[in-house]
């Protein structure tokens, strides 16, 4: 698969936001209060109303990169990358604001209706982050970067419904009484940067 630019006009909304801007090289979303993606675990609620902007692909091996900028200021404000298959099967990666001291850089993987959140704390003054989302068949890797050059692994996961045609893209939401602007730029879609494992051989099936 050769590197090429994404055609933004091929993206489609799931829950189109009230306020947004889409150009050939930039997407802006103004979040609405009480929007979120979460399923059951710990909190015992199901939230499925965040705006998602995605493109469809059957490519089995690829990497998708995007830069996010945001002025989040209330707890759980977030924006980042997403692969939304249906309400009970999806993944996302973002920075979730917590308070004036720190926020959570993390990812959520939801398989069969239960969400699994993994995070690390970073300073609250971070207002930009790059993400790279890579696919190798039905396994996925999420990475992040401060500068768009050096990426660090956040998570490797398997998606039970992620073997065929999928949808992936960007999202932004404000689970509590808040609203902020999320900006997405520097889109790239091309050859898989997540290389095959070169150590122990796979088990024979």
Domain parsing of the chain, residue ranges:
15-190
pLDDT, tens digit, for every residue of 48-74?
Answer: 999 999 999 999 999 999 999 999 999
Gap between the Cα atoms of 146 and 166, Å rounded: 27
Note whether 55 and 62 are within 8 A (CB): no
**pTM of this structure:** 0.95
Architecture of domain 15-190: Sandwich (2.60)
Note whether 47 and 175 are within 8 A (CB): yes
**Residue 52: CB partners within 8 Å, gap ≥ 6?**
13, 14, 15, 37, 82, 84, 169, 170, 171
Assign 5 a pLDDT band (cuts: 50, 70, 90): low
Place of tokens 């300073």: 123
Gap between the Cα atoms of 162 and 189, Å rounded: 18
pLDDT, tens digit, for every residue of 142-176?
Answer: 999 999 999 999 999 999 999 999 999 999 999 99
pLDDT at 3: 55
**Residue 122: CB partners within 8 Å, gap ≥ 6?**
95, 102, 103, 104, 105
Residue 20 phi/psi, 5° resolution? -160, 165
Q: What count of residues does the chain have?
A: 205
Gap between the Cα atoms of 109 and 167, Å rounded: 15
pLDDT, tens digit, for every residue of 171-181?
Answer: 999 999 999 99
């Amino acid at each position: 698969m050769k590197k090429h630019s994404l055609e933004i006009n091929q993206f489609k909304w799931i829950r189109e936001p009230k306020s947004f801007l889409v150009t050939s090289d930039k997407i802006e979303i103004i979040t609405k209060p009480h929007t979120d993606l979460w399923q059951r675990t710990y909190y015992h609620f199901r939230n499925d109303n965040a705006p998602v902007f995605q493109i469809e692909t059957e490519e089995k091996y690829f990497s998708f990169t995007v830069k996010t900028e945001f002025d989040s200021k209330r707890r759980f404000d977030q924006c980042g990358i997403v692969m939304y298959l249906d309400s009970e099967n999806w993944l996302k990666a973002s920075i979730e604001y917590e308070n004036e001291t720190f926020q959570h850089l993390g990812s959520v993987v939801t398989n069969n209706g239960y969400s699994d959140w993994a995070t690390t704390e970073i300073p609250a003054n971070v207002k930009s982050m790059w993400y790279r989302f890579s696919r190798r068949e039905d396994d996925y890797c999420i990475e992040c970067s401060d500068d768009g050059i050096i990426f660090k692994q956040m998570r490797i996961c398997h998606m039970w419904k992620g073997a065929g045609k999928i949808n992936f893209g960007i999202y932004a939401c404000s689970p509590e009484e808040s609203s902020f602007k999320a900006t997405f730029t520097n889109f790239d879609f091309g050859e898989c940067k997540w290389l095959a494992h070169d150590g122990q051989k796979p088990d024979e099936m």
